[in-house]
Amino acid sequence: MRRSITYCMYHTTRTYRTSLFSRTECLVSRIHKQCRRGKFSIVLPHRITPTRSVPDSIVKPSYAISGALGPKPVEIDLKTEEQINVMRKTCQLARKILDAAGQELKVGMTTDEVDEFVHQMCIDNGSYPSPLLYNKFPKSICTSVNNVACHGIPDLRPLEDGDIINLDITIFKDGMHGDVSKTYMVGSVDEKGRHLVDVAEKCLYAGIDQCRPGQKIIAIGTAIRDLAQAHGFSVIPSFCGHGIGSAFHTPPEILHIPMKDFESQQVKMKEGMTFTIEPILSEGTDMVAILEEDGWTAVSEDGSRSAQFEHTILITSDGCEILTLSEKEFENAIMVKTT
């Protein structure tokens, strides 16, 4: 059986590195996509501002101090009740920051301004923005707009009417990470874009519905893939969910498509597991490229849009708990259970 090695295990086979598209290629691609899939702008990286500092009083993960990631954990960590209680608080703070940042979004705002807002809110709440300096990532949040599938670096490009943008927020507080993301619509998004965002969120919950003790992890990706394909969308396989806790990324890997050959997919869920589910849906190809210029930004090969949603999940004795639900989502879930 093939052994999975990294939380981005497909990088060597499903992605390639590319330089920035030429102006001509960008224009032709933009016109082509507007005709086929709706009106939106192809996004290319703009200038970025210097990395923001974090006060010495904020407790930092080891990689933010040493600059090195260190050895990746190889065993699945089952959390204690004390660890779970800390993760609940950390995840709720991460969600609070995400919701606040989402309310700030507007046409003309730059993603660098979003990063500044999130960075300051993390500091004000005594937490460290986990992406900052993780494997040299230069910012405190990932902002992925339109054709950027994930890991977009905040820059000085103003948001445009019709953009869709994923805000991916992870924080570190009291020794634990909490990870959550959501795709927002800026201004008037075309019908096809709205449908993509809607189905992407539904796919996340389709995967969560499979979470319970004794269920194999492969069931998550199967449910996500089946729902996405039913709506004519593809699931980008290059990036997967991951275990999370005292370390940012740990086993098990949570693939968003069924891949029987990967060892982690046959693992059965157990009470105390915590991991993220974070499917990326594309309206076009499932292939992405990593831009050589920054080594992070993943763009769709054909310029098509993608949308992503993410929650941090805890496996409980009789099912699962979504640690990153908003207060409104939690209230709605309670109402559904009691009606």
Q: Where are the domains of the chain?
A: 11-42+76-338
Query: In the CATH scheme, what architecture does the domain 11-42+76-338 have?
Result: Alpha-Beta Complex (3.90)
Q: Is 35 helix (H, G, I), strand (E, B) or coil?
A: helix
Question: What pLDDT, on the 0 to 100 scale, is given for residue 36?
Answer: 52
Rounded distance, CA 302 to CA 320, Å? 37
168 assigned binding-site residue: yes
Tens-of-pLDDT digits for all 339 residues of the chain? 333 333 343 333 345 555 554 433 544 454 445 445 668 999 988 999 999 999 999 999 999 998 888 888 899 999 999 999 999 999 999 999 999 999 999 999 999 999 999 999 999 999 999 999 999 999 999 999 999 999 999 999 999 999 999 999 999 999 999 999 999 999 999 999 999 999 999 999 999 999 999 999 999 999 999 999 999 999 999 999 999 999 999 999 999 999 988 888 999 999 999 999 999 999 999 999 999 989 999 999 999 999 999 999 999 999 999 999 998 887 776 544 433
The response to whether 242 counts as a known ligand-binding position is yes
The beta strand positions in 151-291, using DSSP E, are 164-173, 176-185, 234-235, 241-243, 250-254, 274-277, 280-282, 288-291
**179 carries a ligand binding annotation:** yes
Which residue, 135, 184, 192, 142, is CA-closest to 163?
184
Q: Is 310 annotated as a binding residue?
A: yes
Nearest-angstrom CA–CA distance, 32 and 304: 10
User: What sign for the dihedral angle of Cα 25, 296, 161, 287?
Assistant: positive
Whether 249 has a binding-site annotation, put simply, is yes
Write down the pLDDT at residue 17: 56
Handedness of CA 59, 62, 63, 69 (dihedral sign): negative
- pLDDT at position 20 is 52
